[in-house]
Amino acid sequence: MFQIKYINSGAELTKKHKIMVTENRKARHNYFLEDKYEAGLVLKGTEVKSLRLGRANLKDSYGRIINNEVFIYQMHIAEYPFAHYGNHAPLRPRKLLLHEREIKKLYSKVNEMGFSLIPLKVYFINGKAKIEIALAKGKRKYDKRETIKKRDEKRDMDRAMRNT
């Protein structure tokens, strides 16, 4: 993910800095994740400041496509504590910035194949807020139990291999 660019003169050295804000850990437990996309977020100033403090939550959030635009609903960004006026609403819908061809692809899969748009991570890259969303299909209860069983078996096998 990190990219280092060297110029012949040696005058310029750039890196991609990725600063993690929050992650939706329950998404991997509740959904089968297919394709992942990185999108920009349209935010207000107090939302950016609150994100920099790490005050965001992706639990129960989801994406919708309305009029060829993608929005994230139920994403909670806490109010910025140092803003006395002009603060934002914590649960307002937020627009995502994606290419038109990506939106069309997402729209066809969400409508025809029964996928959902689930946000996975929110982070900053070079000062810009980004969100990682995934096309996801919901797991049934027996799927979740099967996943837990496989994980436990793998852990036991690794433990047995280490002890021998």
Give the model confidence (pLDDT) of 127-154 as tens digits: 899 999 999 988 888 888 988 899 999 9
What is the tally of structural domains in the chain? 1
Task: Check whether 7 has a pLDDT greater than 50.
Answer: no
Q: Is 146 part of a structural domain of the chain?
A: no
Q: Is 162 part of a structural domain of the chain?
A: no
What does each C-alpha distance from 8 to 14, 16, 34, 163 come to in angstroms?
Answer: 13, 19, 40, 51
| Structure confidence at residue 12 (pLDDT) | 45
Beta bridge partners of residue 97, listed in sequence order? 40
Q: Is 49 part of a structural domain of the chain?
A: no
113, 136 Cβ separation under 8 angstroms = no
Q: Is 52 part of a structural domain of the chain?
A: no
The percentage of residues in the chain with a pLDDT greater than 70, rounded to a whole number, is 91
More confident of the two residues 163 and 15: 163
Question: Among 3-7, 66-70, 105-109, 151-155, where is mean pLDDT lowest?
Answer: 3-7
**SS3 call for 134:** strand
CATH code for position 34? 2.40.280.10
pTM equals 0.77
| Structure confidence at residue 99 (pLDDT) | 94
What mean pLDDT, rounded, does the chain reach? 86
Domain housing 67:
18-44+58-75+93-140
Task: Check whether 78 has a pLDDT greater than 70.
Answer: yes
Q: Is 147 part of a structural domain of the chain?
A: no
33, 27 Cβ separation under 8 angstroms = yes
Q: Is 10 part of a structural domain of the chain?
A: no
Q: Is 4 part of a structural domain of the chain?
A: no
